[in-house]
Amino acid sequence: MQGSIVGLFAAPLGGVPKPKVQTLHVTENGCTGDKQNDLKHHGGPNRAVCLFSSEVLTTLTHEGNPIFPGSVGENVLVQGIDWDSVQIGTQFHFKNVILEITSDAPPCRTIKASFTNDEFTRISVKKYPFSTRWYAKVIQAGELITGESATIN
**Residuewise pLDDT in 10s, the chain (153 residues):** 699 999 999 999 999 999 999 999 999 999 999 988 766 666 788 999 999 999 999 999 999 999 999 999 999 999 999 999 999 999 999 999 999 999 999 999 999 999 999 999 999 999 999 999 999 999 999 999 999 999 999
Q: In the CATH scheme, what architecture does the domain 2-152 have?
A: Beta Barrel (2.40)
Query: Cα(69)–Cα(77) distance, rounded to whole angstroms?
Result: 7
Cβ burial, residue 11 (10 Å; 0-12/13-18/19+): buried
Of 132, 122, 112, which is closest to residue 17 (Cα–Cα)?
Answer: 112
Q: Where are the domains of the chain?
A: 2-152
What is the pTM assigned to this prediction? 0.95
**Strands of 23-27's sheet, edge to edge?**
30-31, 23-27, 142-145
